[in-house]
Structures are given as C-alpha cells and as structure tokens.
Amino acid sequence: MAESADSGMAIAVPTNGRSGSERLFLTSLFTGMVIWLGLSLGLSGLFSGMGDAGTWTVRLLPWVALAISALALTRVFSEVGGGLKFFGNRFRAHAIGWLIIAAILLFIAIAGQPLQSVFDLLGKSGKIIVRFCGEHGYFWAACAILIALGLLAIGVRDPSVAAPGRMERTFVQKLTAKVAAIPMALVAIGVFTGGTLWTVVFSFTNSKLLPVTKWVGFDQYIRLWGESRWIISIKNLAIYGVCSLVLSLVIGFILAALLDQKIRFENTFRTILLYPFALSFIVTGLVWQWVLNPDFGVQQVVRSLGWSNFVFDPLYDQNIVIFGILIAGLWQGTGFIMCLMLAGLRGIDEDIWKAARVDGIPMWRTYIFVVLPMMRPVLITTLVIIASGIVRLYDLVVAQTSGGPGIASEVPAKYVYDKMFLGQNLAQGFAASTMMLLSVFIILVPWAYLEFGGGKNKND
C-alpha cells in the first residue's frame, strides 16, 4: 500500500507470471553483490583451508551469480515480447544512467593501474578510486550493465496494461529515496552485519599481529576462559552489572517519584541530578579518583575530623575496587534513568491516582503495586539501555583505576582493547568480543521477543 502513493499508473492487471524470472534476476544479482562485498571485506580467507581450488571456487561464486541473473534476463526478454528497444523505451533515461555508471567503472577498472599516478594526485579519494581498479571495477560494471539491460527489457511494457513488475519496483520507483539510503544500507550490511560476522569468524583463527586464516577451532576460547585476567573481568562485570542494574533502577525510580510530587523548582532539581550525564566517563572517572584518593579525599577528611582509624579507600583495595567504580558509574548515570522513569510516570493516567486515593491506598503502595506494573514498557526499555551500557563499561575503568590495583578492576571491554591493540593478540580480542556479543544477545533476544514478538502492543 506504500507504493500506491506514487505509482499512479498502477492498474491491477496480473503480471502473467513474469515476475518469476524477474525475481530470479534480482535475487541472483543481489546475492552476487553481497558475496562480493563479503569477499572484499576479507571473508575470502575463510575458505583458504580448502586449498587453491577452494579459493578459486569462492572467487568465482559472485560471477556465477551474475551469470545466473544474465540467464534470467534472457527469459525476461522473451517474456516481455517486445525485445530490446532503446528508442521509445520508457526507461531509456534510467538505462543511460546505469550505462554511464558502468562506463565509469569500466574506465577505472582498465585505466586504474596505468593512471595510478594521476589518481594519486587526488589524494585520499584517488586512493579509494584506485582500490576499484581491476576485478572490483569489472564486477560492479557488470552489475550496472545487467541492471541497464534489465530496465531496457521491461521498459517496453505498456504501463497502462501491465502492473509494475518487480524490477520496476526495485530500480525505478522511489529511486532517489533508495539512492539516499545507500549510506544506511552500507553501514547496516557492511559494518554492523559484515563487521560482526568478520570478528566472530576470525575469533576461530590464530591471528596475532595481523588477521590470518590459520584455523584453530575453539582454542582461543579455551585459552580465554583459562586466563585469570578474563575471569576477573567477567566477575567484575557481573558484580558491577547486577549492582548497577538494581541500584540505578531503584535510585532512578525513587528520584523520579520524588520529583513527581508536584514540587517547586522541579527543573532546578532535575538539572542538578542530570548534569553528570553530560560529562564523559573519563571526566567522571578522574573526578572520583580524586574524591576517593585516600591521602587527600574522603578518607583523609573524615580522619581529620577525629576518626583516625577510618578506612575508605575503595580504589586501592583489590576486594572492593569495583564498588569504587560503581559509585562513579551511578553518579554519572542515575540522572538519566531518573529522566526515563519520570517520563514513564508522567505517562500514567491521573485517574489511577484518584482511584487509589478513593480506595484509601497509601501512596507508596500505589507506586509499587499499581504504577510500577503499569510502567512495564518504560522499565523494559530502561533495562535494555542500562544493560547494554554495562557491557560497554570501559572508559570509566581506564580513567579511574586503569584496571588496577594489579588487575583487580579489569573489565571485558578493556581486555578486548588491550589484546587487540596493545597485546598484539588479535584473535584473543576477537574471541573476547564475541563473548561480549553473546552476552548482549542473551539480553537482547528476550527483549526483542517481548517488544516485537508477543503481539503488537507497541506504543509507537
């Protein structure tokens, strides 16, 4: 129904099964593109274990996909019946556009190497262009030519008789919007999906300084779980996570409830409670490092007041250092949770309060037994936000303790960074980050199920 907005010419005439071959054409074309993208991201190494023949098979795969789509295209030609008409073709302009793109790509493919010095004059963008020379250029040029031919094939259809086919819907309708969304598509596919898969795959290799494809199975994971530093990281994250989750929910809710009492100066209070959230974790960590400094900070101040045996130096005590970080983390984040909760509280119907008052239920009981269950959507979202923030815990630790004393306050994110960029043990870092990914999935999948799976109860 979204299409009806812009295809005025669409008349409901069955497409006579044409879209079958069009679908094959498009599917194999896009499959080929995705495989090609994956291979250029470095996934080709996956198959190096199969020897030369295997590598060649894999490198041929996208070309095979293009060949299939070319075959499908010939069927489209025959089905349309009108043949290939360039003049008097509805989509001539579109086809010309694609042919121009193909020509540019071909030019780069052929002339890229010999003209490298010319392209180098363009600086960074010249380098990117040269990356496209050779096989890359040929492949994408082939794709563009196939699309142009496909458009020429379907362009002879009489739009007043035939409904827009699959190809027209893909390459003609809302074309500008699609072109504008290319960055999003590239990021979603190339970085978020491709990058994640890449990391997971390479966690099964023996990469040290550079990613290599020497497969070692689960060795990296076995080594990971055998390292005391990783175990400590996990324990720390678990303690920090549970405490931070519970405390920030409780504190956030209490603060929100306090602010919800129709008080004066609500804005002032909120501004004060929320300002730490504007500060970076680095700043937060450094401030609390100073406040908790045993020689000058809280401990010293209390001692100078008379309790000379007072001990409070969480940052220098291995057993409680994670709680020192927790204090800083809560200081920074609870204001934000409070804001989310407050938004949730404000969404509660005023009549609920009146009803509760009529029934004589005390306020705190109304909050806990009536309002809290009603805030379920907000609570779940808040929970997911806190949880995904906890897994990322990194800057705060770096600034506050640098993982010390010793390795007592290490966290997984720091482990990953240290292994990847300082320890020159890439695969360990990949394995550790894959474990982090796994833990996020454990949080995320139930949430996604609740939010999108169980009926359409979204407030959007």
What part of residues 427-446 is at the interface with another protein (CB under 8 A)?
429-430, 432-434, 436-437, 440, 443-444
**Span near another protein by CB under 8 A; candidates 58-66, 234-242, 368-376, 381-389:** 381-389
Number of residues in contact with another protein, rule: CB under 8 A? 112
User: Which CB, 69 or 434, lies closer to another protein?
Assistant: 434
With binding defined as CB under 8 A, does residue 60 bind another protein? no
What part of residues 318-347 is at the interface with another protein (CB under 8 A)?
331, 335-336, 339-340, 343-344
User: Which CB, 77 or 416, lies closer to another protein?
Assistant: 416
User: Which CB, 92 or 174, lies closer to another protein?
Assistant: 174
Single residue of 277, 310, 323, 353 touching another protein by CB under 8 A: 277
User: Which CB, 72 or 339, lies closer to another protein?
Assistant: 339
Q: Can you say whether the dihedral through the CA atoms of 51, 143, 83, 176 is positive or negative?
A: positive
Single residue of 122, 188, 246, 250 touching another protein by CB under 8 A: 188
**Span near another protein by CB under 8 A; candidates 75-83, 100-108, 134-142, 169-177:** 169-177
With binding defined as CB under 8 A, does residue 281 bind another protein? yes
Burial 106-143 (b: 16+ CB within 10 A, else e): bebbeebeebeeebeeeeeebeebbebbeebbbbbbbb
- Residue 3's identity, in one-letter code, is E
Smallest gap from Cβ 403 to another protein, in A, equals 11
Cβ neighbors of 457 (< 8 A, separation 6 or more) are none
With binding defined as CB under 8 A, does residue 23 bind another protein? no
Smallest gap from Cβ 32 to another protein, in A, equals 17
Single residue of 14, 52, 81, 264 touching another protein by CB under 8 A: 264
What part of residues 109-148 is at the interface with another protein (CB under 8 A)?
124, 127-128, 131
**CA distance linking residue 237 with residue 230, whole number of Å:** 10
What part of residues 215-254 is at the interface with another protein (CB under 8 A)?
none
**Span near another protein by CB under 8 A; candidates 58-66, 79-87, 90-98, 259-267:** 259-267
**Span near another protein by CB under 8 A; candidates 82-90, 142-150, 236-244, 270-278:** 270-278
With binding defined as CB under 8 A, does residue 311 bind another protein? no
How many C-beta atoms lie closer than 10 Å to residue 441's C-beta?
11
With binding defined as CB under 8 A, does residue 193 bind another protein? yes
With binding defined as CB under 8 A, does residue 177 bind another protein? yes
What part of residues 64-103 is at the interface with another protein (CB under 8 A)?
none
User: Which CB, 77 or 253, lies closer to another protein?
Assistant: 253
Q: Is 179 exposed, middle or buried (0-12, 13-18, 19+ CB in 10 A)?
A: exposed
Smallest gap from Cβ 84 to another protein, in A, equals 26
User: Which CB, 71 or 214, lies closer to another protein?
Assistant: 214
Beta partners for residue 205, in sequence order: 215
Single residue of 119, 140, 198, 221 touching another protein by CB under 8 A: 198
With binding defined as CB under 8 A, does residue 460 bind another protein? yes
With binding defined as CB under 8 A, does residue 45 bind another protein? no
With binding defined as CB under 8 A, does residue 275 bind another protein? yes
User: Which CB, 408 or 413, lies closer to another protein?
Assistant: 413
Single residue of 122, 272, 311, 352 touching another protein by CB under 8 A: 272
How many C-beta atoms lie closer than 10 Å to residue 264's C-beta?
7
**Span near another protein by CB under 8 A; candidates 51-59, 104-112, 237-245, 419-427:** 419-427
